Structure 1
Amino acid sequence: MSIRVLVVDDSAMMRKAIRQILETDLDIEVVATARDGEDALKKDQELSPDVITLDINMPVMDGLTCLSLLFDQNPKVQVVMVSSLTQEGAITTFEAMELGAFDYVAKPSGTVSANMHIVGRELIAKVKAAAKRRRRRSVPSSTQHSAGRSAAAMERPARRERSLIVPDHGYRKVVVIGVSTGGPSTLMEILPHLPADLDAAVIVVQHMPPTFTTSFAKRLDDYCQLRFSEAKAGDRLARGQGVVAPGGHHLVVKKNAMRDDVLIRLTSQPANALFIPSVDVTMHSVVEFFGKKTVGVLLTGMGADGADGMVAIRQAGGVTIAEDASTAVVFGMPREAIERGGAEIVAPSHQIAREIVKAVNRW
C-alpha cells in the first residue's frame, strides 16, 4: 500500500520540487499539494493523508498554527516539517516538534531552495519513517497528541533541584549516544529519565545541521534533569552533565595534561565521513581514553554510523546498548551494531534510560 502524502508550501516551485522528489519512490503517492495552512487543513480533511510535509513560514495560516489544529482534526497523521536552515528556523522547528511533529528536513538554501534534491534522500527516508510510525503506534488521546510530547518530555524538572548537583570534572565514566533519523523525538523519550546525579558524562551525537544543534541542546537542557549544552572546543567533560556534538564538526576528546580530566576537541577530520558529526569518530576517540568505563548507545537511524564504534567499546570491556527494532523509527544503525556483535544489550527506547543507569553503576 502506498504512503499517501500531502505537500504543503506557499511556494509553487517548492511544492513541485518536493512532489517530484517524493514521487521518485514507488512506495510514495503525493495525493495533493496545499499553498498554506488553511488549505492544508481543508485537504487533510478531504483526503486523510498518512504523512504531511509542512512548511513553517506561510501566509494566511503559518505552519505552527496549522500543526496545532491538524492533530485535533486527524490524530493519526504524521508531520515532517520542512524548515529553513537558519537559527530562527531551528527554534521554530523544535517548537513544531514539541507540538507533535515527527521530524524535520532543512531546506538547503533558504525558504525557496532550487537545490532541494540535495536533501531528497533524507526527505524520502523521513516520510517513510513517519509512515512506519503511524502504522505502528496506536492512536493517542487528543490531549497527548495535541501537546505532542511523551510523558518524559512533559515532566520538566525544577531548575532549583538540578542546581544542587555540583559538576565533577574528574576522569571517570562516559556515555556516548549516537542517533540519526527520528532522533529528536526518540532522545526525548530517554534523556529526561536520566537522573541529575548520573555518575558519568553524557555525549550526544545526533546527525543534525550546524544551525540546529544549539537550539536542540537548549531544548534538551529545558526538559532534562541533566544539564545539556552544545559542545565547544576546550570544554571539560563533567559527571552529571551532557553535551551535544555541534553540527559540522566531529567531537573527539583528549587528556588534559594539567588535570586528571578530559577536554573536548572539535575537528573537521576525517573530512570524507558520511556524517559530520560522526558517531563512529566520537566513539573511537572516547573509548581510547575511558576504555571499559564507556557506555555506547546506538539509536534509530539510517546506515551504519556508530556500528564499528560500538564494536570497539564492547571489545574494550565497555557496555553497549542498541535500540530494539520494535521502537526504532529506522532500524539501520542499531541493526548494523547488533549484526557486527557490537550490542551487548538490545532494548526498546522506553527502557534505555534504565539500562544506561544500570550500565554506569556496574563499576
Structure 2
Amino acid sequence: MKSKNNIINVLVVDDSAFMRRVISDMIHNEEDLEVVKVARNGEQALEYIEKYAPDVVTLDIEMPILDGIETLKRIKFLSRPPTVIMLSSFTQKGSQETLKALELGAVDFISKPSGPISLDIKSVQNGLTDKIRAAYHAKTENTYKTANEQKLDTITDVSNKKVGGNEFVLVIGSSTGGPRALQEVIPKLPKDIPGCVLVVQHMPVGFTKLMGERLDKLSSLTVKEAQDGEPLMRGRVYIAPGDYHMSVSERTAFTDNSSLSRWQIKIDDSPPVKGLRPCVDTLFESVSKMQKVDLFGVILTGMGNDGARGVKRLKRNGAYIIVEDESSCIVFGMPKAAINTGVVDEIIPLPDIAPRILKLLI
C-alpha cells in the first residue's frame, strides 16, 4: 500500500550510526521523501516494516544479528513487503552479496563511498533519491518473483535448440531490475547461435564483471565483461564494463569472411551521456551502422529513457525491436520510452523474449 499525500515513506537500515544519519539527511532534503524510522539490524528492520509499513527500505548488506541478505529473504513473506534498495560496499564480497540481493528481490542498489568518513554526500544523494522514487513505483509482485517462478507461454526449454540463418548482433539495454531480467534471457540462448550479444546494464565498476561471471556459469554461451579491441565472435555475450561506454567500430584488418569479425569492441571513458556511463544509446547507435548482419534490439526493465534514441537508429538500419511488456517489468521507464518512439516491433513479457528471438532466427 502506497503512502498518502504523495509522500514516500522510507525505512533506513544500517548498523552504522554515522551512515544512518547520512542517509536520513539525504532523504530529509527531499520534499517528497520521509524517513519513518531507522533500524540498526535486520531483526529490528522486520519489526519496523510490520509496524510502520514503509514504502521503501534502504538495507545495508553487512550487519550483525541479521544481515541484509537474510533480512531480504524474510521480507518477501511479510504481509506488506516493501521494495528494497541495498547499500553496498565496493569490496569483492560486497559486490557478490549485492548481486545475490538483486536475485532475491532487491530492486536496486547504491554503492557506499570507499572512505569510512570522507563521504561526498552529493556524489550519492541524487542517485539514492532517484532510486528510492523508482523503487516506490516498482511492481512488488514482480520484485520478489524469482526467475524459476516465471513460466514460458510457449517454449519451455530453448537452450539446446539448433539455430541457423544469417549472422546477427543482438543488443540489450537494461537498468533497474536488469540483472535478474538478463538471467531470463541470456541462459536461454543456445551456444551455436550464429551471432553475438552486446549488453549495457547500468552498473558501477566491478559489478558488471561479477554479473558477467554469474551469467557465464548459467549459460551455454560465453559471457564476459567486454575488453577494448576484441573482435566480435559467434556465441559470445559482451557486457559493457561499469563506468565505461561500449560501442563497436570497424576493424582495419581481418583474416576471415565472417561479417561479425569485421567489427570490434570499443571501450572508452568519454563523458557520460545524460548522466549515464555506460549508455544504452551509445551502444545501439554504433551497432546501427553495422552492415551484412541481422540486427536485433531489446529494451528490458529500467528507469529513465536510455535506449529510446538508440532503437530509432537501429530501426533505420532494419533492426527488429523487442521491448519488455509492463506486466513483467520491475520499472517500466525504459521500455515505455522505447515504445513511445513508435518503432517497436513487439512488446512481450520477459519469459517469452528469448524464445521469440530464437523463432526469428530459425
Q: Give the TM-score of the pair, scaled to structure 2.
A: 0.83
Match of 1:190 among 185, 193, 198: 185
> 1:271-310 residue pairs with structure 2 within 5 A?
274-290=275-291, 293-310=294-311
Structure 1 gap ranges (5+): 156-160
SS in 2 for 1:204: strand
Q: CA deviation at 1:80?
A: 1.3
Of the candidates 70, 81, 92, which is equivalent to residue 87 of structure 1?
A: 92
In structure 2, distance between residues paired with 1:246 and 1:172: 25
Per-residue deviation, residues 152-173 of structure 1 (Å, max 9, x unmatched): 7999xxxxx98x99xx9x9921
Secondary structure at the residue paired with 1:101?
A: coil
Question: Aligned to 1:10, what secondary structure does the other structure show?
Answer: coil
Structure 1, 307-316 or 57-66: larger mean CA deviation:
57-66
Looking at structure 1, the residues matched to 26 and 227 of structure 2 have their Cα atoms a distance apart, in angstroms, of 36
1:266 counterpart letter in structure 2? I
The answer (yes or no) to whether the contact 1:3–1:50 under 8 Å persists in 2 is: yes
Aligned to 1:336: 337
Cα displacement string for residues 84-125 of structure 1 (whole angstroms, at most 9, x for unaligned residues): 133332111112223332221112334666224323233233
Given that 1:109 and 1:115 are in contact with CA atoms closer than 8 Å, whether structure 2 keeps it comes out as: no
Matching residue of 2:213: 218
Aligned: 1:120 with 2:125: yes
Pair 1:204 & 2:193 matched = no
Residue 237 of structure 2 corresponds to 242
Counterpart code for 1:80? I
How many residue pairs get aligned? The number is 345
Give identity over the alignment, percent. Answer: 39
Distance 1:192 1:75 in 2: 32
Alpha-carbon distance in structure 1 between the residues aligned to 2:15 and 2:212: 30
Matched letter for residue 319 of structure 1? Y
Q: Is the 8 A contact 1:108 1:116 kept in 2?
A: no
Amino acid at match of 1:310: V
What do the CA deviations read for 1:218-246 (whole angstroms, capped 9, x no partner)?
A: 12112234221111123232222211110
Letter in 1 for 2:147: S
The CA deviation string for residues 54-95 of structure 1, in whole angstroms up to 9 with x for no partner, is 101223332223323333445733221111133332111112
Q: 1:103 maps to which residue?
A: 108
Provide the rounded CA distance (Å) in 2 between the counterparts of 1:77 and 1:227.
36
- Change in 2 beyond 3 A, CA 1:16/1:225: same
In structure 2, do the counterparts of structure 1 residues 295 and 176 end up closer, same or farther at CA, with 3 Å as the change threshold? Answer: same
Kept after mapping to 2: 8 A contact 1:291/1:313: no
- Could you tell which deviates more after superposition, 345-354 or 267-276? 267-276
Task: Tell me how far apart the structure 2 counterparts of residues 210 and 171 of structure 1 sit (CA, whole Å).
Answer: 34
2:270 maps to 1:269:
yes
Deviation, 1:313, is: 0.9
Which moved further from structure 2: 324-333 or 28-37?
324-333
List runs of 5+ in structure 2 lacking aligned partners.
Answer: 153-157
Residue correspondence of structure 1 range 137-176 to structure 2 within 5 A: 137=141, 149-151=146-148, 172-176=167-171
Residue of structure 1 in register with 2:63 after alignment: 58
Relative to structure 1, is the Cα distance of residues 331 and 101 closer, same or farther in structure 2, using a 3 angstrom cutoff? Answer: closer
> How many angstroms apart in 1 are the aligned matches of 2:344 and 2:102?
30
Q: Distance in 2 between matches of 1:153 and 1:195?
A: 20
2-side partners of 1:115 and 1:154: how far apart?
44
| Amino acid across the alignment from 1:150 | A
Asked if the contact 1:307–1:342 (Cα under 8 Å) also holds between the matched residues in 2, the reply is no
> For the Cα contact (< 8 Å) 1:36–1:62, is it kept in 2?
yes
The 8 Å contact of residues 152 and 193 in structure 1, kept in 2 or not, is answered as no
**Given the alignment, which residue of 250, 254, 261 partners 1:258?**
254
Structure-2 residue corresponding to 1:158: none
Quick one: structure 1 residues 176 and 101, their matched pair in 2 at CA, closer, same or farther if it must change by over 3 Å?
A: same
Alpha-carbon RMSD: 3.2
1:281, distance to aligned residue in structure 2 (A)? 1.4
